[in-house]
Amino acid sequence: MSGFDRACSDNSSALRILVLGYIVRCPIGGMAWHHLQYVTGLARLGHEVLFVEDSGDEPWACYDPGSGECGTDPAYGLEFTRRVFERVGLDRHWAYHDAFTDSWHGPGAQLVTEFCNNADMLLNLSGANPIREQMLGVPIRVYLDTDPLFTQVRILQDPERQRLAAAHNMFFSFGEKFGDEDCGIPDDGFPWQPTRQPIDLYAWQFSSAPAHAAFTTVMQWDSYSKQSHEGREYGMKAESFGPYMDLPQHTDVELEIAMGSVEAPRQQLKELGWHLRNPLEVTRDPWSYQDYIYSSGGEFSVAKHGYVASHSGWFSERSACYLASGRPVITQETGFSSIISADAGLIPFTSLQNAQTGLEAVKTYYNRHCEAARDIAMTYFDSNKVLNSLLERAFSKNAKFLAGTTL
C-alpha cells in the first residue's frame, strides 16, 4: 500500500474525487503542472483521487511536441503521463480513454467503473473532457472554467458546449470578478463561483534566484482565434502585447520569452531587445519547466486581451508558480488587484510606463519582492486553502449563497 493509499484509508472523512484533465493530449510541462496540482493537492488533503482523461471524439485530439502534429495516436502522451505520475508518487492513479479505439490505458484503467460508481465528486478542469454516461451518476459534477469570458462566449454560441456545461451541477471559474458591475464576462445562465489555481507548496519551494537572472515568461502568441460577442472582439496575447513591444528599450532588466506560435513576430521582437527561447526545450516536462522558473529573476507577462478587456479578475496559473518560487511577478492587470492584495512581489500594470516602473522597483528592492512573492503564494494560492474552499462550497447546501466567499 502506497503512502497515498494509507492516507486515504486512515481518513474516514476522505472523499473519492475524479479529476478530469488534459495531460495525455497536451504533454508539455506547464499544462501538466496546471492539472497535476489539483491531483497532488487533493491527495495531500487525504482524499482518494483518480485522474481520468478522455480523448473526446475529435480526430486532432493528441499533440506530439516532437513532431508538432496533432492526431489520434496517444503514445507520446501516455509515456509522458506515466513518467509524471510515477515521479509524484501517484503512479497507479491515472487512466486514459481512447475513444478512437474504444480502449483504456494507464494503471488506473481497471478502477474507473468502480470509482465512478462510488465517487463523491467529479472535477472537470477547463471542461476539457466529455461527461460519459458512467460519470453522470456522480452526485457533484464540477465544471472548472480556467478560460473566463471565452468559456462563457462559447457556451452562448455553441450548443455542444452548452450541453457539456449542462452535464455539470456546480460551476467555478478563474474569472473571479464574474458578476461584478465592472466585469464584462457575459452571463451564460450558469452560476459561476470564483476560484483560482491551487499551488502545491511542497512541490514549489522558495529558492534564491541566480545573480542578474532575466525576467522570463512562457507564452503562446495566439492560442486560438479571436472571439466576438455583441459586436466586440476579444483576442489573445498578440492583441495585448503591442504597447509593450519596445519595453526592452526602456529598461536594463533582461527580458526573455519562451514563445510558442508560428505567427509570432520573432525577428521583430529580437530586434527590439527581447531574448527568445525554444518553448519545446523549456516545457519538455514539468521539471524542465520548473527549472526554467527557478533560473529566472521573475516574470514579466501580458494577459490575453479578452481577460483584460472583460476585467475578469483572471490570474495565471504560471504566474502563481513564479510567486511560489519566490520570483516577483509583473503582469498585466485583469482586475485581480482588487482581489489579491499586495504591496510588493506582485505588480500589475496597465501601460508601458507602469511596466517600466514596476521592473525598476523590483530591481531596486529585489530581496523584499522575492520574500513578498512567496508570501502571496502562501496566502492566496496554497492548494490546501484553495481546494478546501472549493470543496466546502461544492458540498454546501447553501453553495449558491456563498458565491462571494473570499478564497
**CATH number for the domain including 72?**
3.40.50
33 and 167 co-located in one domain: yes
Strand (E) or helix (H) holding 124: strand 121-125
Angle 364-368-370 from CA coordinates, rounded to 5°: 100
> Crossing angle for the helix pair 29-44 and 286-294, nearest 10 degrees?
100
56 with 14, same domain: the answer is yes
For residues 193 and 291, state if they share a domain.
Answer: no
pLDDT of res. 11: 57
Residues 43 and 187 in one domain: yes
Distance CA 273, CA 159 (A): 45
pTM of the model: 0.94
Question: Would residue 368 count as lying in a domain?
Answer: yes
In a domain, 265, yes or no: yes
Identify whether 206 is part of a domain.
Answer: no
Task: Judge if 371 and 388 occupy the same domain.
Answer: no
CA-angle at 301, arms to 299 and 304, nearest 5°: 150
**Residues 306, 244 share a domain:** yes
Residues 294 and 167 in one domain: no
Number of domains the chain contains: 2
Beta strands at 16-20 and 170-173: parallel, antiparallel or unpaired? unpaired
| Cell of residue 56, nine digits | 473526446
57 burial type by CB count under 10 A (0-12 exposed, 13-18 middle, 19+ buried): exposed
Q: Of 310, 294, 116, 102, which is closest to residue 205 (Cα–Cα)?
A: 294
Q: Residue 19's beta-bridge partner residues?
A: 51, 123
Q: Are 372 and 391 in a shared domain?
A: no
- The pLDDT of residue 48 is 97
Q: The domain containing residue 362 runs over which residues?
A: 215-380
User: pLDDT of the chain along its 407 residues, tens only?
Assistant: 333 343 344 555 799 999 999 999 999 999 999 999 999 999 999 999 999 999 999 888 999 998 888 999 999 999 999 999 999 999 999 999 999 999 999 999 999 999 999 999 999 999 999 999 999 999 999 999 999 999 999 999 999 999 999 999 999 999 999 999 999 999 999 999 999 999 999 999 999 999 899 999 999 999 888 999 999 999 999 999 999 999 999 999 999 999 988 899 999 999 999 999 999 999 999 999 999 999 999 999 999 999 999 999 999 999 999 999 999 999 999 999 999 999 999 999 999 999 999 999 999 999 999 999 999 999 999 999 999 999 999 999 544 433 344 45
Are 349 and 249 members of one domain? yes
Relative to beta strand 62-64, strand 227-229 is: unpaired
pLDDT at 114: 97
Whole-number pLDDT of residue 398: 46
- Closest Cα partner for 64 from 53, 51, 78, 84? 78
User: Is residue 190 domain-shared with residue 232, that is, in the same domain?
Assistant: no
Phi, psi of 181 (to 5 degrees): -60, -35
In a domain, 209, yes or no: no
Q: Residue 61's beta-bridge partner residues?
A: none
